[in-house]
Structure 1
Amino acid sequence: MPSDTRTTTDIASVWLAEGQSSQRDMLASLQALKATSNTPFHVIASHRHNRPEIFECADSIYREPHLSISDDESLTDNPVEAEPTMPRWQFVLEQAQQQKVKVLLTGRNGIDYEAHRDTFSAAGIRLLTGATSVDALESIDDKFAFMQQCHAHNIPVADAWRFDTTAELKALLAQHSHQPLCVKPVTGIFAQGFWRLDSSKASDETYDSFEHLYFTEAKKINTQQFISAYTNSQMVKERPIPMLLMPFLPGQEYSIDVVCEYGEVLAAITRHKTGKVQHIGYEKPVMEVVVPLIKAFGCDGIVSVQTKADDEGLHRVLEINSRPSGGIGYTAHSGVDLTQVGFGYWLGLTDKPKLEDIVKEITPCQVRSIMTSVKIEEQAL
């Protein structure tokens, strides 16, 4: 499974395992850090699939083992038939020990690794899963449990009511339909399954069913049509999907990239979006919610937080993602590259970051993402 593996016994290594969307950007940041560092280190990347656009940014690469058909999620570009093999965490651990890995960021499969934290620690590997216990990661992934834990710690959070059946949904709608509402799955990423509910009546001239189908980016659907779709869904019948009904908050939404250690915020950058433009900076009112949140869940590594303001302007937490966000690379434009801040510290290249010092280094800016491409060559791994 290893390819282009230039093992060195003299320097430490850092490993970025398969992530959701930012693995390439983070590897590029690490290469830039290595180029300016007086202390050399080795950069390793791994993924389940052949991803040359990611692998080209690493010094050594590995193909992670497949665990099951579901591990490929059936939505990937080229699903690969599952093969019996060792667990992913064990494969990575064995290779990491050979490569003298000092820091391992687990990416999308944090819970699998977290269950074996003691084993990685015994091997001298600093494991970054987003938290430091399986229970914490599970409560982060379960948005209903997450909300309840936020309430227990007096953290402002968006309310949510769980439903598993049409009857439960209708009962909740009868109770809460006096306000704008939305729905989303209890677990999920990339806003999959999120919809704003339009309570307009079909006879109301202001309601246009086709408009919701045409302007899909608005993520809006008529309430009755959602009920019908949910009730008659064969997918839901075969694989029940717990859902949440929530108030739709009207204020500005923020994404916050956070470097943290055992519940302490070491560095953070806030960003919000207007149109296609990302506004990068550090918003103190937003961070007043984020800092206690990170402490409450014992977050550890590089995570991202979403907040949204309610109709009174109060910032409420929507969720924590226990992995770096897709926009982690944007932070470099502010003068503070959070990937370099975090890994520079964990690799022992720099002192422990202090949030108050990092804030002084941030230069607010605006960022627009652009489309790019890479040529994919056939290669056997």
Structure 2
Amino acid sequence: MLRDNPDAVDVRIYGTNVQRDAPALAACDVGEPEPRYVGDADYAAFALDFCRRHAIDVLVPPRRLAALAGRTGEFADIGTRVMCSPPAAVDVLTSKGRTYEAARAAGVPVPPWRVVSDADQFLTAVEELAADTAGERLCVKPAGEFSAFGFRILDDRPLRLKDLLAAPLPLASVASVAGAMRRAADEGEAVPEFLVMPYLEGPEISVDCLSAPGGAMIAGIARSKQGRYRHLLDDPALVAIARRLVGHFRLAYLSNVQLRHRAGRPVLLEANPRPSAGIFQTAFSGLNLPWAAVRLLLTGDPGTLPVPRLGGRIAVTESVLEVAPGRPATHPEPALLPEPAAVLPEQAVRPDPVHLTPAAATAAAAG
């Protein structure tokens, strides 16, 4: 989406990953390894050096935001603009418990939850939520930034034959989770905070958001996930929830709000002050959110955005790419995408030129 931008600007993309031959680097013109298991100060030093060496104009960090959000001035001194929300927002949103507290105070609907960090707290939370949620299944997951790692549905029922014949689920018994926490504590291992809450079944809804510094939302595309299919939803109520949250946290540029339904009502699942991994799917709406965010960061103007095409369904498929051992693959030819259902007029999708200098057309994505 950055390469095929509506301003026809030639973009050069740099990427880093802890694995030198990570497939994500195949999309980059230049790929380099980045340090693994380092603190925030060391990671920021690496990022500053990388941007200085490569004369990076725009840094789009999808992780390690806590290491970079408070150092935008240092990057600006070397000519790099960092696409990042304020440090205060990053600090809150990296904790799901504090996210729920702040969101509830802002009037955003949230599910009931408990934050626990030992076996006794966990057992108490399960007991309380089981009593308060009228028999809803519960789940547990790390309260910090762990993506989907650590997520378990709590299930004490005995294994049945139909369970063996169905697709596997991330199940764990209450006793086994409590036992893991207790053993870790006994062995002196640090136990991070976990979140216990109802397991929200049904499609996950992801709202990709573009907003100006200060939290004014410019565009939001809601999509639901069902297997390999994604639905581009025409539901203003979902975008309104995201708008309230983005404004409350003053999120800037690209962010992502995830929702699920509980008793027929959308509630917050989590919010991320960074672009989502699935933002490429919004291309089928006719909007180029990544490029609009780059324009907004560099010029203060996202450009003319067309009215999005909503209500359609797309499929996420796989492709195969050979990656040479020990180094990133060369940039592949772009995959052929299906034609959109309707073609918008040229003037609706191509704003006036952004007048970027050649140096301003480079972008880095730490992926």
TM value normalised by structure 2: 0.76
Kept after mapping to 2: 8 A contact 1:102/1:126: yes
Q: SS at 1:256's partner residue? A: strand
- RCO higher in 1 or 2 (8 Å CA, sep ≥ 6)? 2
CA distance in 2: counterparts of 1:109 and 1:65, whole angstroms: 12
1:309 counterpart = 2:261: yes
- Partner residue of 1:193? 150
Distance in 1 between the 2:50 and 2:142 partners? 36
1:107 shift after superposition: 2.0
Cα drift, residue 369 of structure 1? 1.7
* Preserved CA contact (<8 Å) 1:212 1:218: no
Shift of 1:216: 6.3
1:223-242 deviation per Cα after TM superposition (whole angstroms, max 9, x unaligned): 34444454445798523132
2:209 & 2:100 partners in 1: Cα distance? Answer: 20
Match of 1:275 in 2: 227
Look up the equivalent residue of 2:228 and give its one-letter code. Answer: K
Secondary structure (helix, strand or coil) at the match of 1:325 reads: coil
Counterparts in 2 of 1:224 and 1:42: CA distance versus 1, 3 Å: closer
* Partner SS state of residue 267, structure 2: strand
Structure 2: distance between partners of 1:276 and 1:56 = 23
**Structure 2: segments with no counterpart, 5+ residues:** 329-367
User: Which residue of 211, 229, 241 maps to 1:260?
Assistant: 211
Provide the rounded CA distance (Å) in 1 between the counterparts of 2:151 and 2:50.
39
Residue 190 of structure 1: SS of its match in structure 2?
Answer: coil
Q: Is the CA contact (8 Å cut-off) linking 1:209 and 1:222 kept in structure 2?
A: no
| Contact preservation (8 Å) 2:21, 2:325 | no
Match of 2:238 in 1: 286
Distance 1:216 1:52 in 2: 28
Q: Which structure 1 segments of 5+ residues have no match? A: 1-28, 72-85, 201-206
- What is the Cα deviation at residue 30 of structure 1? 1.5
The letter for the 2-side match of 1:322 is: P
- Coordinate RMSD, CA, aligned: 3.1
User: Do structure 1's residue 320 and structure 2's residue 271 form an aligned pair?
Assistant: yes
**C-alpha contact (below 8 Å) 2:202/2:260 kept by paired residues:** yes
2:44 maps to which of 59, 68, 89:
89
What corresponds to 1:365 in structure 2? 312
Q: Does residue 376 of the first structure (1) align with residue 323 of the second (2)?
A: yes
* Count of aligned pairs between the two proteins: 323
* Pairwise CA distance, 1:109: 1.4
**Change over 3 Å in CA distance of 1:37–1:185 after alignment to 2:** same
Equivalent positions of 1:54-65 (< 5 A) are 54-65=24-35
Q: Percent identity?
A: 20
Residue aligning to 1:120? 75
TM-score by length of 1: 0.74
* Deviations, residues 140-190 of structure 1 (Å, cap 9, x unaligned): 011111111112222212221112222222222332213212211111333
Q: CA 1:121–1:191 in 2, change beyond 3 Å: closer, same or farther?
A: same
Which residue pairs with 1:337 in the alignment?
288
Q: Check if 1:238 corresponds to 2:223.
A: no
